[in-house]
Structure 1
Amino acid sequence: MNHVIAPPTTPSIAVHGKSERFPVRRIYCVGRNYAEHAIEMGGTGREAPFFFMKPADAVLPVEAGAIGAMPYPSLTKNLHHEVELVVAIGQGGRDIPAAEALRHVWGYAVGLDMTRRDLQNDMKKAGRPWDIGKGFEASAPIGPLTPAAQVPGIHRAPIVLDVNGTVRQVSHIDRMIWSVAEIIEHLSAAWTLAPGDLIYTGTPEGVAAVVAGDLLEARVEGLEPLRVRITD
């Protein structure tokens, strides 16, 4: 097929122990999926799940052992970190029941949902979409994927974020309000999921600002860690 312009390159992320990469189709994100984070953001601690999206090319893939570079984004003076377990969909579907949902998971990674918090808050106050606060370039750093079969204990794993060697966020995956299976059930009722989709599953409490020069290290036990430096 001929195109009037060159088609864009498909974003992709590394896979632990493989030379092949995982192509990214869509990025779905779950809002307020840990009770303490929901409370710190002004919620009640338990709400029905809600979702927002980032463009696929917002992904910032970081290879195993490397330190990714994330430029401090424009228009903000309050860039926040949010460490998250990321789910990679390998088998698509619609109206997937929770009991069958994990069969659709290809693997897992640790990611960061970077947020221009001041812009997001402005949009909330005005009742407008969050895109400018959430969907900018390099706003979705992610480490290498690990196949699901290699991390059977992922749903109870600790999740931690350090900034410059100091712990900022710490929790466990089983403290999510909505489990991975339940998230997939809710998401697939609204969208048809497809291979290549990523789901950022929400962040625990402790979100805070970072500045140029800060080194972020995100970890979920059993997965490759993610290291990102904020640059000018």
Structure 2
Amino acid sequence: MKIFCIGRNYAAHAAELGNDRPTEPMVFMKPPTAILPNNKPFYYPDYSQNIHFETELVVKIAKNGRHVQPEFALDYVGAIGLGLDLTARDLQDKLKANGHPWEIAKGFDNSAPLGTDFFPPQDFDDLNDITFRLEKNGQQVQHGQSHLMLFPLTELICYISQFFRLQKGDLVFTGTPAGVGPIQRGDELVGFLQTKLGEQEMFRTRVR
């Protein structure tokens, strides 16, 4: 399983961090050991003092393919879920300042809490207009709508498949909306996803 992540895919998020708006998808990867499943707690590591939450729609790839064409891209969407791209912001800022890759700031162990439920495409009215949100300690801190993505699902699948063979079960974290912020020990993060059946709780993660 490969975990693809898209950076700066919402204009408002790029702006809040003072980053330029990208002209093509910004792709990075997390290792499988980043996944934190089944609502397990996240234990704050000692190598960072400033870890941020970033809530993202997650696409589970349905089948193998390369060089996917736009008219077939949605055939590769097997299911939609919700996850967190936890980011060691202090490490990332240092790495960026030195022109170094971001891996240790993005791909560290348990940096991708992921809900156990995924919903098939037919459970959504429009894959390009999905609503999701995050609560921290009972207060809403992020609210996203996928129609605000700079690069929609079809474009992401086509772009990634130019460079990497997509395989069934791969995950694509599609980027976070504005509102990211720090977590502290004791925080509870709860993610929600809107489907045809109503709003679904997707994950509940306690920070320890």
Relative to the length of structure 1, the TM-score reads 0.84
Given that 1:154 and 1:221 are in contact with CA atoms closer than 8 Å, whether structure 2 keeps it comes out as: no
Q: Is it true that 1:226 corresponds to 2:203 in the alignment? A: yes
Gapped runs of 5+ residues in structure 1?
A: 1-24
Counterpart Cα distance in 1 of 2:169 and 2:46: 29
Q: Give aligned pairs, total.
A: 203
Structure 2 match to 1:157: 130
Structure 2 match to 1:194: 167
Q: Which amino acid aligns with 1:169?
A: Q
Aligned-residue offset at 1:51: 0.6
Identity over aligned pairs, percent = 39
Q: Is it true that 1:81 corresponds to 2:79 in the alignment? A: no
Q: Is it true that 1:72 corresponds to 2:72 in the alignment? A: no
User: Which digits, 9 at most, give the CA deviation of each residue in 1:49-83, with x for residues without a partner?
Assistant: 11100001211112xxxx43111123000010000
Deviates more, 1:207-216 or 1:158-167: 158-167
Given that 1:110 and 1:142 are in contact with CA atoms closer than 8 Å, whether structure 2 keeps it comes out as: yes
Q: Is it true that 1:128 corresponds to 2:100 in the alignment? A: yes
Aligned-residue offset at 1:224: 4.4
Counterpart Cα distance in 1 of 2:112 and 2:58: 10
RMSD of aligned residue pairs (Cα, Å):
1.3
- Cα distance change on mapping 1:97 and 1:224 into 2, 3 Å: farther
Relative to the length of structure 2, the TM-score reads 0.93
1:177-188 mapped onto 2 (5 Å cutoff): 177-188=150-161
Structure 2 match to 1:105: 77
Counterpart Cα distance in 2 of 1:149 and 1:175: 21
Q: Which amino acid aligns with 1:34?
A: Y
Q: Is it true that 1:90 corresponds to 2:68 in the alignment? A: no
Given that 2:136 and 2:189 are in contact with CA atoms closer than 8 Å, whether structure 1 keeps it comes out as: yes
